[in-house]
Amino acid sequence: MCAKKTIIIDYFSQMQKIIISFIAFIISASLFAQNIDYAKTVINKLSSEEFKGRGFVENGDKIAANFIKSQLDSIGIKSLNTNFFQKFELPINTIQGEVNLSLEKTKINLGTDYLISPNAASSSGKYKVKTIKLSKISKYAKKDFSEKFLYINNDINTKESKKLYRELIYTNSFNARGFINPVDKPTHRQSMVVDSFTVLNIRKDLILNIPKYINIDFKNTFYENYQTQNVLGYIQGEVDSFIVFTAHYDHLGKQGNTATFYGANDNASGCSMLLNLADYLTKKEKPHYSIAFMFFSAEEAGLVGSAYYVNNSIFDLQKIKFLFNLDMVGTGEKGIRIVNSTIFTEEYDLLVKINDKENYLKQILKRGEAANSDHHPFYAKGVPAYFIFTTGGSSEYHNVYDKPEKLSLFAFENLLLLLSDFIDEYR
């Protein structure tokens, strides 16, 4: 073959590679444009009023579970068990219906101005408010506060006094009817028990002058055996071992008729990441390991759903090569942080290697073990597991302000790519 023909063939060969690369880039760009739109759609849907805060009021958890199941079905994900659902029960206390609180004659707003402790029993009436100083606490040891609300003035203001203050309020050492607890921003949690007293978490700027009395009216509903469900699906791989991705879909539900905890970052964002990853992986070649997607309920009640799964696993936990729990991944301006990365260093090094090559995230920060999300029940049973959350951006947490418009999704697409590359390279 003459040199001229060789040059022409080489030229067309190079052009073919460039064209193929360009087409791949266009397809990839189009795919991720769709992915970020889908991510926003999922987050907006899960965080809407229709889903009742994805808690245990007005079947919010069941509405969310059915939506996730429908998405897995439409993507083409197989059910890991019968009809995707793994049902279980738990006790849970809720505060439903009309809720009213007035500081003397001034009515304040549930959710934005105050929240009621989740373990509270029904309460209705007018109660005097008694102010006591923490420095003089021993003086009140034998007083009867059973029909009063207490405001404890922490006039010592040390680390030890703050701890004592919390203990006095949440153990009700004074047998009080309740407590007024000043906070910067009212936050909520869930409770599986009911107590005889009430803590009112009220914005501190509203109680610069402590009221002489309060008028309060609300009712609690306690469920001894509330039935909820995990949602479980998978992609079949080449071998009978799993990389598992988990996210809790529940949030704090509603308090009363007016306070909805939307939970956009916590954890509609994690659910969206799992659904987007599932959709993305079904468009790629069959993975080496099977990929499981587990959406847990009752995380906010104390990791109940993931603990139930671990004790009633669909397949042997020893088949899990590695587990990623995604919880609060709706930002990322400062990168991500990984719980357990100081323990499982090989996987951390691989993620950093991929990130250094592709420049996906600003940084991947280490953190030690912590029992603060759904990775922990697995880790406690010997499963190698990470909990990943994004850093930077919105800091709204367990309040009524954690809404979709607060989320930048700054690192969303690149975190998805990082996890996908990990799947491809991990053996």
Q: Can you list the positions of beta strands (E) in 60-161?
A: 78-79, 85-103, 106-107, 114-116, 123-133, 148-153
Mean pLDDT along residues 416-426:
98
Instruction: Label residue 10 by pLDDT band (50, 70, 90).
Output: low
Instruction: Label residue 403 by pLDDT band (50, 70, 90).
Output: very high
Q: Can you give the pLDDT at residue 386? A: 98
Q: Is the pLDDT of residue 61 over 70?
A: yes
Chain segment 87-129, per-residue pLDDT in tens: 999 999 999 999 999 999 999 999 999 999 999 999 999 999 9
Instruction: Label residue 82 by pLDDT band (50, 70, 90).
Output: confident
Instruction: Label residue 141 by pLDDT band (50, 70, 90).
Output: confident
Q: How many Å apart are CA 94 and CA 77, to the nearest integer?
A: 34
Q: Can you give the pLDDT at residue 142? A: 82
Q: Can you give the pLDDT at residue 33? A: 52
Q: Is the pLDDT of residue 308 over 70?
A: yes
Mean pLDDT along residues 281-286:
96
Query: Residues with Cβ < 8 Å from 90, sequence gap 6 or more?
Result: 192, 225, 226, 228, 298, 301, 304
Q: Is the pLDDT of residue 381 over 80?
A: yes
Query: What three-state secondary structure class fits 99?
Result: strand
Q: Can you give the pLDDT at residue 20? A: 42
Instruction: Label residue 35 by pLDDT band (50, 70, 90).
Output: confident
Q: Can you give the pLDDT at residue 29? A: 45
Domain ranges for the chain: 36-92+224-425, 94-222
pTM here is 0.92
Q: Is the pLDDT of residue 13 over 60?
A: no
Q: Is the pLDDT of residue 4 over 60?
A: no
Q: Can you list the positions of beta strands (E) in 317-418?
A: 320-326, 335-339, 364-367, 385-391
**Pick from 245, 289, 243, 292: nearest CA to 271:** 245
The least confident of 23-32, 53-62, 251-260, 403-412 is: 23-32
Fold for 94-222, please state it: Glucose Oxidase; domain 1 (3.50.30)
Q: Is the pLDDT of residue 327 over 70?
A: yes
Chain segment 219-244, per-residue pLDDT in tens: 999 999 999 999 999 999 999 999 99
Query: What three-state secondary structure class fits 132?
Result: strand
Q: At which residue do the structure tokens 């592709």 appear?
A: 358
Query: Residues with Cβ < 8 Å from 7, sequence gap 6 or more?
Result: none
The proportion of the chain whose per-residue pLDDT surpasses 70, expressed as a percent, equals: 92
Q: Can you give the pLDDT at residue 16? A: 57
Instruction: Label residue 34 by pLDDT band (50, 70, 90).
Output: low
Same fold, 36-92+224-425 and 94-222: no
Instruction: Label residue 214 by pLDDT band (50, 70, 90).
Output: very high
- In the numeric block, which tokens belong to residue 261? 């905890």
Question: Domain 36-92+224-425 sits in which CATH superfamily?
Answer: Zn peptidases (3.40.630.10)
Q: Can you give the pLDDT at residue 31? A: 47
At residue 234's C-alpha, the angle toward residues 232 and 238, to 5°, is 155
Q: Can you give the pLDDT at residue 195? A: 96
Mean pLDDT along residues 357-361:
98
Instruction: Label residue 21 by pLDDT band (50, 70, 90).
Output: very low
Angle between helix 269-282 and helix 3-46 axes, rounded to 10 deg: 150
Q: Can you give the pLDDT at residue 30? A: 47
Mean pLDDT along residues 201-221:
97
- In the numeric block, which tokens belong to residue 313? 């696993």
Chain segment 255-283, per-residue pLDDT in tens: 999 999 999 999 999 999 999 999 999 99
Q: Is the pLDDT of residue 25 over 90?
A: no
Chain segment 387-399, per-residue pLDDT in tens: 999 999 999 999 9
Q: How many Å apart are CA 234 and CA 247, to the nearest integer?
A: 14
CA 301 to chain centre: 11
